[in-house]
Amino acid sequence: MRLLIKKIDDDGRLSLVPQFLDTPWEIEVIDTDDLAALDRALARADAMVSMSWQWSLPSASNLRLLQLPGAGTDEIDFGRVPSTTAICNCYEHEIGIAEYVLGSLLEWTIGTRRLDQQFRAGSWAGSYLCGPRHGELFGKTIGIVGYGRIGREVARRAAAFGMRVVVCTRTPQRDSKIAERVDSMEGFGRLLAESDFIIVTPPLNDQTRGLFDRRAFAAMRREAVIVNVARGPIIDELALYEALAERRIGGAIIDVWYRYPPQGTPHGPQPSAHPFHELDNVLMTPHASAWTDGLLPRRNRAVATNLNRLARGEPLVNVVRAAEPARRPMERA
């Protein structure tokens, strides 16, 4: 069995895959900018690991599995992936993202960094001696939009802090153990109107792109804080900036953006066409919420699991699109 890995991903993030393989695989690293070389490599490959697919290459018809090393499929041109190729993704990022969400909510509510800086400078502001008092998460309402793996992990942690959890999602299911209410997307406006914190977790697709627009921000409470850990374009870029700059909402915690530098580049352009970095009601991080020391071992194991299953002829897991059976040549009469 032969596996292709994109050269740009050969930076250590997939280095643990071989140790989780218990079936024989030959691994080839390929530069996808060289389409001729990619075409030749695909002709002899059984599987490829890649977060993106934008090619139309004849030899790709031999590929049995396109395995994403992450969850998002927004960089996959499904129409160009042969119908006989199964497309699978993997997760394992929900733990780190959920911890990021609760950590950022605590920072927003308590202001530990600010208290530390002030105290180092000699100020007792924020203490019981002179105030002011900081907030609590206990009793606040957290509205989660999208209730997949990330949304559920956030809900579990929020409930442990004594927060009231309400949800709206495209595929609502009863969840009385964690959420007080799980609505369909028809309950979106209701969620916006009652939430102190709104957590954005759905996938980016035609239904969610621009979901948070001017009307959505107008429906939010004036002191509400929005947290985006999904994809930047789920929130309309200009509408978000205007809502924050004009203080129509309380603030934003943003980990996903609209502009990115090339992979492997520590410096790049500003992440938005608008100066979010000049606003004092924004906590902004560089798409770091999932990037934990536990993520890569879990994801490498998940990728290897599907490769092992493919080699053994077993059903694949986390199937985004199943492979169609290969058409057999018509027999002559």
Distance in angstroms (rounded) separating the CA atoms of residues 141 and 137: 9
Contact 219, 239 (CB under 8 A): no
| Residue numbers annotated as active site | 287
∠ CA 61-51-307, nearest 5°, is 65
Taking the CA atoms of 294, 300, 302 and 308 in sequence, report the sign of the dihedral they define.
Answer: negative
Listed in sequence order, the residues at least 6 apart from 3 whose beta carbon sits closer than 8 Å to its beta carbon are 25, 26, 27, 28, 45, 46, 47, 48, 49, 307
User: Which residue do the tokens 């605590």 mark?
Assistant: 106
The region, left, alpha or beta by phi > 0 then psi within -120 to 50, assigned to residue 164 is beta
Contact 177, 120 (CB under 8 A): no
Radius of gyration of the chain (CA): 23
User: Which residue do the tokens 């020391």 mark?
Assistant: 293
Listed in sequence order, the residues at least 6 apart from 96 whose beta carbon sits closer than 8 Å to its beta carbon are 289, 290, 291, 292, 294, 295
Taking the CA atoms of 211, 244, 109 and 195 in sequence, report the sign of the dihedral they define.
Answer: negative
Closest to 69 measured CA to CA, from 85, 45, 53, 46: 53
Residues across the chain: 333
Listed in sequence order, the residues at least 6 apart from 176 whose beta carbon sits closer than 8 Å to its beta carbon are none
Distance in angstroms (rounded) separating the CA atoms of residues 127 and 124: 6
**DSSP 8-state secondary structure symbol assigned to residue 121:** T
